[in-house]
Amino acid sequence: MISEVENKYVIFKLKEEYYGIPIANVLSIERIEEITRVPNAPKYVMGVINLRGEVIPLVDLGMRLDIDAGDYNRDSRIIVTSVDDIIAGLVVDSSSEVLEIDKDSIDPPPDTNNGRCIEFLNGVGKIDNRLIILLNLPKVLEY
Amino acid sequence: MDLDLNQYMGIFVEDAREHLQDMNEALLALERDIDNIDIVNEIFRVAHTLKGMAGTMGFEDISNLTHEMENVLHGIRSNLIVLDEDTIDIIFESFDALDHAIDFIAANGREGEEDYKDLIDRLRSISFKTKPDSTHDELHDKLDSMDGYTLRILNEARIEGLSSYRLDIILDANCMLKAARAFIIFNALDDMGEIISSNPPVEDIEDEKFDLKFTIIFISQLNHSRIMDELNAISEIESISLEEICVEDILANIGELDDMTIDSGGMGKVSSRDDKESRTTDNRGIVGKTVRVDIDRLDNLMNLVSELIIIKTRMDELSQSSDTDKMGETIEYLERITTNIHDAVMKVRMVPIERVFNRFPRMVRDLSRELEKKIELQMTGKETEVDRTVIDEIGEPLIHIIRNSIDHGIEDPEERIKHGKSEKGNIGLNAYADGNHVIIEAIDDGRGLDSDRIKEEAIQKGIIDAQEAELLTREESISLLFTPGFSTANEVSGVSGRGVGLDVVKNKIESINGSIELDSQLYRGTKFTIRLPLTLAIIQALLVKLDDEIYAIPLGSITEIIRTTEEDIKNVYDQEVILYRGRTIPIIKLNRILGLDEGEEMEERVVVIARKGEKQAALLVDDLIGQQEIVIKPLGKYLSNIDYLSGATILGNGNISLILDVNSII
Chain B residue with the nearest C-alpha to that of A42: B642
Q: Cβ of B636 and A37 within 8 Å?
A: no
Q: A70 vs chain B: nearest CA distance in angstroms?
A: 21
Residues of A in contact with B639 (CB under 8 A): 38, 41, 45, 48, 57
Does the CB of A37 have a partner CB in chain B at under 8 Å?
A: yes
Chain A positions touching B633 (Cβ under 8 A) are 53-55
pLDDT value at residue A143: 67
Partner-chain contact B637 A50, CB within 8 Å: no
Assess B637–A contact: CB distance below 8 Å, yes or no.
yes
Largest CA distance in chain A: 44
Give me the pLDDT at residue B289, please: 66
Q: Looking at this predicted complex, what is its ipTM?
A: 0.87
What's the fold here for domain B538-665?
A: OB fold (Dihydrolipoamide Acetyltransferase, E2P) (2.40.50)
Report, as residue numbers or ranges, the catalytic residues of B.
48, 70, 404
**Cα(first)–Cα(last) distance of chain A, in Å?**
32
pLDDT of the residue at B346: 80
Contact A50 B644 (CB under 8 A): no
Does the beta carbon of A128 lie under 8 angstroms from any beta carbon of chain B? no
Cβ-based burial of B425 (10 A; exposed 0-12, middle 13-18, buried ≥19): buried
The residue among B585, B560, B582 whose CA lies nearest residue B572 is: B585
Q: What is the pLDDT of residue B601?
A: 67
Q: State the smallest CA–CA distance between residue B553 and chain A in angstroms.
A: 15
Closest by alpha carbon to A57, among A41, A74, A77, A76? A41
- Cα separation, B31 vs B26, whole angstroms: 9
Q: Which of A34, A36, A85 sits opposite B658 (nearest CB)?
A: A36
The pLDDT of residue B120: 83
> Model confidence at A69, in pLDDT bands (50, 70, 90)?
low
- Answer for the pair B659, B647: CB distance below 8 angstroms, yes or no: yes
* A55–chain B Cβ distance below 8 A for any pair: yes
Question: How crowded is residue B283: how many other Cβ atoms within 10 Å of its Cβ?
Answer: 8
Q: Cβ contact (<8 Å) for A50 and B634?
A: no
pLDDT in tens, B10-48: 778 888 888 888 888 888 888 888 788 888 888 888 888
Residue of A nearest to B590 (CA): A39
The residues, ordered by sequence, that sit 6+ positions from B90 with a Cβ below 8 Å of its Cβ are: B72, B119, B122, B123, B126
Average pLDDT over residues A80-99: 88
Q: What is the CATH number of domain B138-256?
A: 3.30.70.1110
| Closest-approach residue (CA) in chain B for A49 | B656
Length of chain B: 666
Contact B636 A57 (CB under 8 A): yes
Check if CATH label 1.20.120.160 holds for domain B5-133+272-281. yes
CB contact A85 to B (< 8 Å): yes
CATH superfamily of A2-140: CheA-289, Domain 4 (2.40.50.180)
Query: Which residues of chain A neighbour B657 with C-beta distances below 8 Å?
Result: 36
Q: CA-to-CA distance for B481 and B502, rounded, in angstroms?
A: 6
Q: How much is the CA Rg of chain A, to the nearest whole Å?
A: 15
Q: Which of residues 568-627 of B touch A (CB under 8 A)?
A: 593-596
What local confidence, expressed as pLDDT, does residue B13 receive? Answer: 84
CA distance B529 to B550: 35
Which pLDDT belongs to residue B249? 67
Q: Looking at the complex, report in whole angstroms how far the Cα of residue A49 sits from the nearest Cα belonging to chain B.
A: 7
Does A48 lie at the interface with B, CB-CB under 8 angstroms?
A: yes
Contacts of A56 in chain B (CB under 8 A): 636
Residue A41 at interface with chain B, using a CB cutoff of 8 Å: yes
The answer to whether the CB of A37 falls within 8 A of the CB of A47 is: yes
Q: What is the pLDDT of residue A10?
A: 93
pLDDT at B195 (0 to 100)? 81
> Is A55 close to B656, i.e. CB distance below 8 A?
yes
Nearest by CB: A39 against B594, B637, B648 = B594
Q: Which residues of chain A are within 8 Å of residue B648 when distances are taken between CB atoms? A: 36, 48, 55
- For chain B, which ranges sit under pLDDT 70? 1-6, 127-149, 248-289, 485, 487-500, 536, 599-602, 613
**Contact A87/B644, CB-based, under 8 Å?**
no
Of B593, B594, B648, the CB nearest to A55: B648
Residue of A25, A46, A48 to mutate for B, most B C-beta atoms under 10 A: A48
Element (H, E) at B217: strand B213-220
Interface test with A, best of B639, B651, B657 (most A CBs within 10 A): B639
| Contact with chain B for residue A112, Cβ under 8 A | no
Chain A positions touching B650 (Cβ under 8 A) are 50, 53, 55
Residue among B595, B636, B655 whose CB faces A50 most closely: B655
Q: What's residue A21's pLDDT?
A: 92
Mean pLDDT of A107-128: 74
Q: Which of B594, B635, B644 sits opposite A55 (nearest CB)?
A: B635
Q: Quick one: which of B23, B38, B43, B13 has its CA closest to B96?
A: B23
The reply to whether B549 touches chain A by the CB within 8 Å rule is: yes
Which residues in chain A are closer than 8 Å to B596, comparing Cβ atoms?
39
Domain boundaries, chain A: 2-140
Q: Count the neighbouring beta carbons within 10 Å of the beta carbon of residue B259.
A: 16
**Contacts within 8 Å (CB) and 24+ apart, B153-161:** B153/B196, B153/B219, B154/B196, B154/B217, B154/B219, B154/B245, B154/B247, B154/B250, B155/B247, B155/B251, B157/B219, B157/B247, B158/B247, B158/B248
Q: What is the pLDDT of residues B588-630, one digit of tens each?
A: 988 888 888 876 666 788 899 988 767 789 998 988 999 888 8
| Architecture of domain B353-449+488-533 in this structure | 2-Layer Sandwich (3.30)
Q: Which helix (H) or strand (E) holds B195?
A: strand B193-199
Question: Which residue on chain B is closest to A46 by alpha carbon?
Answer: B639
**Nearest CA of chain B to the CA of A110: how many Å?**
29
Q: Is the pTM of this model over 0.80?
A: no
The whole-number pLDDT of residue A117 equals 55
Partners of A137 on chain B (C-beta within 8 Å) are none
Give me the residue from B642, B648, B656 closest to A40, CB to CB.
Answer: B642
Pairing between β-strand B615-621 and β-strand B583-589 as defined by DSSP bridges: parallel
What pLDDT is attached to residue B146?
58
Q: Considering only CB atoms, which chain B residues are within 8 Å of A50?
A: 650, 654-656
Across the interface, do B637 and A86 touch by the CB < 8 Å criterion? yes
Residue B605 to chain A, least CA–CA distance (Å): 22
B656 to A88: CB separation less than 8 angstroms, yes or no? no
pLDDT given at position B187: 82
* A78 contact B CB<8A: no
pLDDT at residue B279 in the model: 36
**Across the interface, do A50 and B658 touch by the CB < 8 Å criterion?**
no
Output the 3-class SS for B57-104.
HCCHHHHHHHHHHHHHHHHHHCCCCCCCHHHHHHHHHHHHHHHHHHHH
Give the residue with greater pLDDT, A95 vs B143: A95
